[in-house]
Amino acid sequence: MKYAGRLAALLFITAFLITSVAFVKSNDLFFQIKKQLTIFSDVYREVATQYVEDISPETLMKSSINAMLETLDPYTVFIDEGEQQQMEILSSGSYGGIGIEAGFRGDQIVIIAPIEGYPAQRAGMRPGDIIVSVNDVEVRGMSPEEVQRLTLGDAGTEIQITIRRPALDENITFNLERERIEVNNINYASKIGENNEYGYIHLARFGQQTAEEVRNKLIEFSQSGSFEGLVLDLRNNPGGLLNEAVDLIDKFVEPGVTIVETRGRSENHNSTMVTSEPAMFEDLPIAVLINEGSASASEIVAGVFQDLDRAVIIGENSFGKGLVQTIRPLSYNTSLKITISKYYIPSGRSIQPLQLDGSRGSMPDSLRRAFRTKNGRVVFDGDGIEPDVAMPGQTSSLLDLALQQSNRYFFFVNDIISESDGEPDAEMPDDLFKRFTRSLIEEGFTFETPVDRHLAAIESNIENFSKEESAQGNLEELKALLRDYKISQIYDNQEMIEHNLQIEWITQTLGENRRNEALLQIDENVLKAIQTLSNPFEYQTVLRP
């Protein structure tokens, strides 16, 4: 009895000490918060009332808040009343704009994904393009939400947006017309393959009812003949609702499997998400397509499938956004979007780049941590999701961009179709590239290069400081050589131009369903997915090396 009494007393003292320590720590934290708020309030009052010039208290406070939040990750932002209304517009899936999703890459605002079929995508904007300015307003220092707000407006109004493409290291300006943006969860779904034995679903985002819509499509595929595999296209899908991503995974993975964990500073922000419903298609072979425009919920789906060796991932590295935000309402109809935790997928890795600001390439691969999938394959953290089968991305050239910006493909193909009386099923002429090239040369098509700007500067200097005819003659020779170089670029990029002409021909001559079918037949990533699914040995070799 004495021993039991002593033990009880010891346990009580231990519990009391632990509670006391926790209380002291908590009390100390709240004391520090109170102390610092008092100091800040004093400084704010003095500056607002005593500074030599009048200062708007609202502007001063917003600057103070933004400066504080800039020391954290870029996704923790203050949302004032006007921005909150814009966020509601964007989340509704219907708004006036150019069809882009913006995000951070380091301290720069980049395009996560242009929405297919809308002004930004049609003009040639791509995932990873750095946004420099919108309507001559520099975006450096802004949040993605603020930049997104600049792009919104009534359908039919014009917008000028300047981007920098890292592969070209050039600033490029686009003049676009806003359109009514309507974003569906499923962009396109159909049977594909030589015998229509594979299902194809292109998910544009993870909105309400996404998982249920996918489930219905899967049932349609299984009831319409042979269904031997699925191509899930998550390219340019910027994410959305986590619960929809989890519910989608549930359709393909047996119950009781942990698929996503969120871990944060507070226990309240920690959670574990486990598959719960019987898998409808547990053994169905899957190929998932991703690219740099696949972010957040898209990366979770791709990463979970990869970690569980449940699908072959094909394409390019994903965007890399593994932070969880929640919106906390504040006074006067404002709010704070704050990062509260990180996502972790089954292998234990995070999809967030090693730096919270989302920057890449600043740490060598040797410092990235290795993890293992269910079958023992080695995967790494810190750089989004790396595909199992890497596919080359789109080529970047000033020629390609100039052709896209000036709508050369559209107008040329449109003229050819008009000449043939606009027959909807007219076959694409074999000599289309030749005729296109001839039209470019005859019309004096050109595109600006850094050399053009240097020659212009030289010519200006010659006109101002020299009257020598020989100098002007040499300059004209250089211009002629540059013209020849630009023409040679057309022939050097024949494969790319022919591919774009083929896409434009299909787009203008076929109805929506037949157009989508035809475009999939020339999509290298889709063709690679079909090849992988149709070869069980190749499929299993990826998942069980």
Give the long-range contacts of residues 513-519, CB within 8 A, separation 24 or more.
513/190, 516/188, 516/190, 517/190, 517/192
527 class by beta-carbon count within 10 Å (0-12 exposed, 13-18 middle, 19+ buried): middle
User: In the prediction, which pLDDT does 407 show?
Assistant: 86
pLDDT digits (tens, 9 = 90+) for 461-515: 766 555 556 666 677 778 788 888 888 999 999 999 999 999 999 988 888 788 8
User: In the prediction, which pLDDT does 149 show?
Assistant: 85
Per-residue pLDDT at 229 exceeds 90: yes
Confidence category of residue 196, pLDDT binned at 50, 70, 90: very high
User: In the prediction, which pLDDT does 362 show?
Assistant: 47
Residue among 130, 133, 135 nearest 107 (CA)? 130
DSSP reduced 3-state for 336: strand
Q: What is the mean pLDDT of residues 345-360?
A: 76
Residue among 344, 326, 340 nearest 260 (CA)? 344
Q: Hey, where are the domains in the chain?
A: 27-71, 77-182, 186-326+340-393, 398-520
Confidence category of residue 397, pLDDT binned at 50, 70, 90: confident
CA dihedral of 328, 329, 330, 334, whole degrees rounded to 10: 110
Q: Could you give the CA distance from residue 5 to residue 111 in angstroms, rounded to a whole number?
A: 67
pLDDT digits (tens, 9 = 90+) for 114-156: 888 899 998 889 888 999 999 999 998 888 878 888 998 889 9
Q: Contact 242/303 with Cβ under 8 angstroms?
A: no
- Residue 141 corresponds to which amino acid? G
What are the start-end ranges of the E strands in 238-334? 258-264, 271-274, 286-290, 312-315, 323-329
Average pLDDT, the chain: 86
119 class by beta-carbon count within 10 Å (0-12 exposed, 13-18 middle, 19+ buried): buried
Q: Could you give the CA distance from residue 160 to residue 209 in angstroms, rounded to a whole number?
A: 35
User: In the prediction, which pLDDT does 486 show?
Assistant: 87
* pTM higher than 0.85: no
pLDDT digits (tens, 9 = 90+) for 161-170: 999 988 787 8
User: In the prediction, which pLDDT does 272 show?
Assistant: 93
Helix pair angle (432-442, 494-509), 10° resolution:
100
Q: 390-422 burial, b if ≥16 CB within 10 A, otherwise e?
A: ebeeeebbbbbbbbbbeebbeebbeebbeeeee
Per-residue pLDDT at 423 exceeds 80: no
* Residue 244, both tokens: 């929809």
DSSP code for 52: S
* Residue 411, both tokens: 């107008």
User: In the prediction, which pLDDT does 8 show?
Assistant: 56
User: In the prediction, which pLDDT does 236 show?
Assistant: 93
> Could you list the active site residues?
296, 307, 321
Q: Contact 262/342 with Cβ under 8 angstroms?
A: yes
pLDDT digits (tens, 9 = 90+) for 60-109: 998 899 889 888 888 888 888 766 655 655 555 567 899 998 888 777 89
CA dihedral of 111, 116, 120, 124, whole degrees rounded to 10: 90
Which spans in 189-317 are helix H? 210-223, 242-250, 297-307
Which CATH number, 3.90.226.10, 3.30.56.10, 3.40.50.720, 3.30.540.10, labels domain 186-326+340-393? 3.90.226.10
Q: Could you give the CA distance from residue 391 to residue 369 in angstroms, rounded to a whole number?
A: 24
DSSP reduced 3-state for 80: coil
User: In the prediction, which pLDDT does 524 show?
Assistant: 96
What contacts 82, CB < 8 A, 6 or more positions away?
149
Helices H / strands E in the chain, number of each:
17, 21
* CATH number for the domain formed by residue range(s) 77-182: 2.30.42.10
Which spans in 316-407 are helix H? 398-405
Q: Contact 114/120 with Cβ under 8 angstroms?
A: yes
User: Which has the higher per-residue pLDDT, 233 or 544?
Assistant: 233
Residue among 504, 516, 509, 519 nearest 420 (CA)? 509
* Residue 425, both tokens: 């099923």
Beta bridge partners of 112: none
User: In the prediction, which pLDDT does 440 show?
Assistant: 93
* Residue 103, both tokens: 């995000």
User: In the prediction, which pLDDT does 12 show?
Assistant: 54
Q: Give the strand pairing for 229-233 and 198-203.
A: parallel
Per-residue pLDDT at 157 exceeds 90: yes
User: In the prediction, which pLDDT does 325 show?
Assistant: 86
